[in-house]
Amino acid sequence: MSKVTSRLGHLRSERGMTTAEYAVGTVAACGFGGVLYKLLTSEPVQNLLSTVIEKAFGVIGG
């Protein structure tokens, strides 16, 4: 390996993400958040969560 390629390889490490990877990661996180929000605010899931919370309070005597 020559001195130039050795230095170039040293300067370009594989640590961290590039700007494009940040953009893709951000879009994926936003998409996942949107799906999760729609799921948790749907009527069946709201009813399920309400039932689970009521039973939990019933068990602890609240």
CA–CA dist 48, 44 (Å, integer): 6
- Per-residue pLDDT, averaged over 50-57, amounts to 93
Residue that wins the pLDDT comparison between 16 and 60: 60
- Non-local CB neighbours of 17 within 8 Å, separated by 6+ positions: 25
The pLDDT of residue 11: 58
Residue that wins the pLDDT comparison between 34 and 2: 34
- Per-residue pLDDT, averaged over 29-50, amounts to 96
The pLDDT of residue 2: 60
Residue that wins the pLDDT comparison between 18 and 39: 39
b/e 25-35 (16+ beta carbons within 10 angstroms → b): eeeeeeeeeee
Listed by start position, the domains of the chain span 1-59
- Per-residue pLDDT, averaged over 23-48, amounts to 96
